Amino acid sequence: MILRARLVSLIWILPGLMAATGQAPLNLWWLALMAWGLALYAISRAASWKQAAWFGWLVGVGYIGGTHFWIVAPFYVDAEAYAWMAPFALAGMVGGLALFFAAAYGAAFALGRSQGMRLVSLAPCLILAEFLRATLFTGFPWAQIGSLWLNHPFMQLAAWIGVPGVGLLTLLALALPLAAPGSRAWPALAVSAALLLGGSWIGAQRLAAPVALSETQIRIVQPNAPQHLKWRPDMAPVFFQRLLDLSAAPTDTPPDVVIWPETALAWRLDIAEEIFPLIADAAGGAEVIFGAQRLDEQGFYNSLAVLQPDATISHVYDKHHLVPFGEYIPLASLLAATGLMPDAERRGYASGPGARVLDLGAAGRILPLICYEAIFARDVAAAPERPDWIVQITNDAWFGNIAMPYQHLDQTRLRAIEQGLPVARAANTGVSALIDPYGRILASHPLNEQGVIDAVLPAALAPTIYARLGNWPVWVLLLTLVGGLVLVRRTRGH
């Protein structure tokens, strides 16, 4: 009987899998909304906190599996050597991240004395779990619940309360009608409808405002260097020449800034001075922002550099939020000391000092982000001053063609909404894009095609509430909700 019940309970994987359709490439927000309603309902079918945690873990398996399946792709770049690791990596990520959902469901069950209270409790518990997922073990806030609204006006509320706040309002709107008993269901439904429709109206009004243009003309270069060829000695010169040719392509309005993607150069920055004049000539008087690796006395870095028209480097930014196991090995020093990792080069990149703003003069001040750094709202907010625009350089060629490049693009769009800043995104194989301060894509270049984007950079908006306060308003609301639920439980317990 226990085994049969466990097999029947596997059905709760389905709402999580359905909820994944709210993320790229499908972006079916309406289907994801229904799925999250079903996922919330799962807690009302649990008889204990342990069973609730089990149901939550299953929901998490469906959701994380449906949004993170691309994690296997890097293992197939050199399939002969690494493909055998792919199933273990997928199982580890899905099973591990699903534990955050399990914790949320178990805590919500313990927090509420009735089914209705548990349903309401689950909304803040899931968002608290997302905060933990975004922070622990360096964090991984990918496919947050609130981001399902990205192509809908409701997402504009992130300018006030960020993606976590949008997720909290969404879950509360879904939970209230499910939690309300009998005759109270209709008033609760009216409150939920007012919340969702009102938020959508506010977002639509924000989107109706015109976007001013700056005086900066930019060119984003997408060379399309496949990952399995990118570092080959015979292909590196081919891709470098492609970058030069694309940068020098004729245009009616010469660019002020040319942007190349992450690790665009196959040669280290500290030994590549001989090719700087070639890059400057190709850019025709524009500043060039490009990615390259560099080595100094402190370590080996994944860097972004700014090349001036006179072929000198004016700025260097070193990536500081590195990908665990992808760009560095956690506890590498300990492993090296024990002899388990004797090769020092396998320790990966060193971390840069932190977020920086680079002053490009007439082109304004930029916040540089390298690849994965764009998924962290806190890294963007950590800049010592407000930039005029964001530059993200990335190489998503590792991660296949189905979901990850589009999901990563969507993450960048969320940062634009939260901060009210335009974003120029240069991706090796795509998707490169120019994004306005409302998160809309003004221009893009398709995946797996070489080419350029020539456009005028939009102007920044005034600092948003989220840019000023960060997640504090959401934390106040979460603590108020959880505190109220604890108080109600204690009162009813007596």
Catalytic entry in 262, 287, 373, 418:
262
Choose among 331, 401, 330, 405: nearest CA to 374.
405
Check if the beta carbon of residue 416 is closer than 8 Å to that of residue 127: no
**Rg for the chain, CA atoms, rounded:** 24
Collapse the DSSP code of 342 into the 3-class scheme (helix H, G, I; strand E, B; otherwise coil) and give the result: coil
d(CA 177, CA 36): 13
Determine whether 371 is an active site residue.
yes
- Residue 240, classed as helix, strand or coil, is helix
Q: Considering 130, 371, 373, 418, which one is annotated as catalytic?
A: 371
For residue 370, list its beta bridge partners.
393
Task: Classify the C-alpha dihedral 19-21-27-31 as positive or negative.
Answer: negative
Catalytic residue among 125, 130, 287, 319: 319
Q: Which of these, 358, 374, 368, lies nearest to 323 by C-alpha position?
A: 374
Residue 141, Cβ neighbours under 10 Å: how many?
19
- Cross-strand partners of 288: 258, 307
230 is known as an active-site residue: no
Strands (E), 263-299: 287-295
Count of all residues that appear for the chain in the document: 494
Rounded-to-integer distance, Cα 96 and Cα 104, Å = 14
Sheet with 257-259: strands ordered across: 313-318, 300-307, 287-295, 257-259, 213-222, 451-458
Q: What token pair was written down for 36? A: 């999250």
First to last CA, the chain: 36
Q: Among 444, 300, 293, which Cα is nearest to 370's?
A: 293
Active site residues: 262, 319, 371
